Structure 1
Amino acid sequence: MVKKTLLTFLYRIKVSFSKIKLKFGIKTGLVKSVIIVPYKGFGSREKIYLIGRVLKDRGIGLSEIGDSRWKNFTKMYKRFMSWEIPKVKVCATLGEDYWVTETDDEGYFEFFINPKQLIQHTSPWISLDLELIDHVLPNQGKVTASASIFIPTKEVEYGIISDIDDTIVPTGATRIWEMLKTTFLGNAHSRIPFEGVSAFYQALEKGADGKENNPMFYVSSSPWNLYDFLTEMMSVHHIPLGPLMLRDLGLSREQFISGSHFDHKLSQVEKIFELVPDIPFILIGDSGQHDPEIYLQVIKDYPGRVKMIYIRHVSEKRRQKVLDIKTEMKSLGVEILLIEDTIIAANHALKKGWIRAEDIQIIINYKNQDEINNS
């Protein structure tokens, strides 16, 4: 009871401070423009999920390979010291249909859309138009954005859900100082993926038919503040883009720190399973935190939906735990492969007929080149 009372009190202070800061910023001209930041959405022909945020435009822009550590730190500071725009209405339009929602105290908005008619599409990606209805600034003008939504086509073979930290890129997620240094002093160019990962993910996206229709989803405990950083990193290193499911960190109405790693990732993976029904998934993670435990729970909650699990081995002290989980997964009819090299996973996927034979040599070539570049 005391904890809940303290939490409520501190949260009210936080919200009040944010409101005062925003009013001050508008009055003094520190807030000159606002933007809608849509994160990639997803769903099916019957339902769509989209999350985004309304913020002060801080003009962060793209990074350059030669950017200094100070410049990288400055951009990261801007990402975390954001100016949220709370309690404003955002309109989403698709064809002749439209929906309206309101941002919360942190500037986030969510749409759970059920179109009146089934969505007709030939490409996996469709666009949703967004517009800020309320006026925040004097002489604001129109504030609009276009959101990309992934809707699987009939040609999908399977979906892929992957962790990011220590699965795609080595970050030292289990070593706090190493992770902070990597995050705040580096940029999209200096965050180097594990060797061969980009080519392997490209092969999975293409699948056995080579058509690049298989949806890629990324679930991480990283904060939403890093969304543009992570999408730029993926683009720079040719990792297939897809919806990223991140989280809000810090004080909330319910918790001092917004949710546990386990609860967040489990809820996001299961949200994907709910909104993208009828297709199996390959799940990819690492042994450093709790990906094997999370994926085990997914198998129990959604029997028959998990096709395969690849776990990058990054923690020797958790090896036995992962092996115990492997035994339990096997009893449930799902295979898990503990790997230290991307080629092992790629060869396994080829053997299963999930990727094309010609893509194996591409993955090997990428891995060899990555090793040369990283040496």
Structure 2
Amino acid sequence: MKTTSPFAVLLGASLITWAAFVSANDIKHDEYIQFARGIATLNKDGLVEGQITAWVYEKESRPGAKQLFATFAGFDVEAMSERERSNFDNRTQLFRFDSEHGKQITLHLSPNKTLTLPATDSDGITRAQLTLAPLSELSVIQTPGAAPVIDYHAVLPANDNREFNGQLLLVPETGVSVVSDIDDTIKDSNVRNRTELLNNTFVRDFRAVAGMAERYGRFAAENTTVRFHYLSSSPHQLYPAIDEFLQGNGFPVGSLHLRYLDVSDELFGNGDSSRRQKLNTLQQLLQQFPQRRFLLIGDSGEADPEIYAETARRFPQQVLAIYIRDVTGEPATAARYRDTFAGLPAGQWQIFTEPGSLPAIAPLP
């Protein structure tokens, strides 16, 4: 049976106005840029290549838009605490926007290196795989115990003093990648309950699943080649809030892969765009890094077991293990898991409730 994402319903509630097809390329003072933390690699010539995604938008300021959002989602703003109301204002603002078409962003990579991204599409999005420069010429942030990231920022008009910064996670050809779901895997969201999901997303403070940040930290400490990739069906508009959650709760730095919603597909399609997005993004990661091995960590609330099992069958030499956090009360012997993981080695997958039960990363051959 088709199910409609509550996020898609909210996006379809006439809270968005699609910007006119403008010809001006400069970022205006009332427009904003949101970069997603992507992935960088070194090519055979020693140059850094990076995947850069950016969204250009203007905050929606129409009177009544916020109340319309609250009414459509079933929120009682007057009953919220001051903290909850602040969360609601800040997070729903990310869903009240005008996407800006035809905007070109110039990136400042080093004192002598700039690159210009393709113009944004009708959704305000631009994506590009770029060859940047030798690593020595780029701004690299190397925090002790953390993976290196390459820092860059947008070039703005001379009279605009704002800063829009982006980062790329530097990923070596070999090593271990931890691909982690977010909702109900590392963040308490209660995805299976629509009302709770909306409250946990827009009203309440984000809460980390106890013990997950510490376990991920130990994964990172076990091997210097470990990299983290956070893969979620959450809309890309939530990027600032999710990234703040990850950093504030001590999760290792990683690339962040959120969903760019196709509202028409969500509302009128067969309801599986969330699964397709996660599956496609995950398998693209494995294809990009054929010499890396992958730990896949998710939860039982939605389709993570099925997505990960399908991936393990397609890439049997790359998937080290699948770890599924139990949020549905199904034992490892349940028919769902028996059918889902049929044919996979018994030791390749594990259902867990306590993060401390997850084994250490075995030395790679």
Q: Distance in 2 between matches of 1:241 and 1:67?
A: 31
Instruction: Show the counterpart of 2:119.
Output: 102
Distance of aligned partners of 1:220 and 1:311 in 2 relative to their CA distance in 1, 3 Å threshold: same
Mapped pair 1:290 → 2:303: yes
Q: Distance in 1 between matches of 2:244 and 2:163?
A: 21
Decide which of 221, 228, 242 is 2:240's aligned counterpart: 228
Mapped pair 1:84 → 2:122: no
The count of residues paired between Structure 1 and Structure 2 equals 310
Instruction: Show the counterpart of 2:83.
Output: 68
Contact 2:266 2:273 in 1 (8 A): no
Distance of aligned partners of 1:141 and 1:69 in 2 relative to their CA distance in 1, 3 Å threshold: closer
Q: Distance in 1 between matches of 2:247 and 2:107?
A: 26
Q: Distance in 2 between matches of 1:283 and 1:34?
A: 37
Report the AA paired with residue 360 of structure 2: A
Cα deviation, residue 151, structure 1: 1.4
- Using the size of structure 2 for normalisation, the TM-score is 0.74
Classify the secondary structure of the residue corresponding to 2:105.
Answer: strand
After TM superposition, the structure 1 = structure 2 runs for residues 1-375 of structure 1, keeping only pairs within 5 Å, are 17-19=17-19, 32-46=29-43, 47-56=49-58, 68-95=83-110, 96=113, 98-115=115-132, 119=135, 123=142, 124-131=148-155, 141=160, 145-153=164-172, 157-187=175-205, 191-208=206-223, 211=224, 213-251=225-263, 256=268, 260-316=273-329, 319-330=334-345, 335-345=348-358, 348-349=359-360, 352=362
Report the AA paired with residue 231 of structure 2: V
Distance of aligned partners of 1:19 and 1:259 in 2 relative to their CA distance in 1, 3 Å threshold: farther
Contact 1:158 1:282 in 2 (8 A): yes
Distance of aligned partners of 1:322 and 1:328 in 2 relative to their CA distance in 1, 3 Å threshold: same
Contact 1:87 1:104 in 2 (8 A): yes
Contact 1:160 1:284 in 2 (8 A): yes
Q: Distance in 2 between matches of 1:326 and 1:253?
A: 29
Q: What are the ranges of 5 or more consecutive residues in structure 1 without an aligned counterpart?
A: 1-13, 24-30, 60-65, 355-375
Distance of aligned partners of 1:103 and 1:171 in 2 relative to their CA distance in 1, 3 Å threshold: same
Cα deviation, residue 312, structure 1: 0.5
Contact 1:36 1:144 in 2 (8 A): no
Report the AA paired with residue 304 of structure 2: D
Q: What are the ranges of 5 or more consecutive residues in structure 2 without an aligned counterpart?
A: 1-13, 23-27, 44-48, 62-80, 143-147
Provide Cα deviations, 1:183-212, integer angstroms capped at 9, x if missing partner. 12113xxx222221110011112224xx4x
CA RMSD of aligned residues (A): 3.4
Q: Distance in 2 between matches of 1:292 and 1:306?
A: 13
**Which protein has the bigger strand share?**
2
Cα deviation, residue 287, structure 1: 1.1
Q: Distance in 2 between matches of 1:144 and 1:74?
A: 22
Moved more, 76-85 or 249-258: 249-258
Classify the secondary structure of the residue corresponding to 2:298.
Answer: strand
Classify the secondary structure of the residue corresponding to 1:55.
Answer: strand
**Which protein has the bigger helix share?**
1
Cα deviation, residue 297, structure 1: 1.9
Contact 1:93 1:128 in 2 (8 A): yes
Instruction: Show the counterpart of 2:11.
Output: none
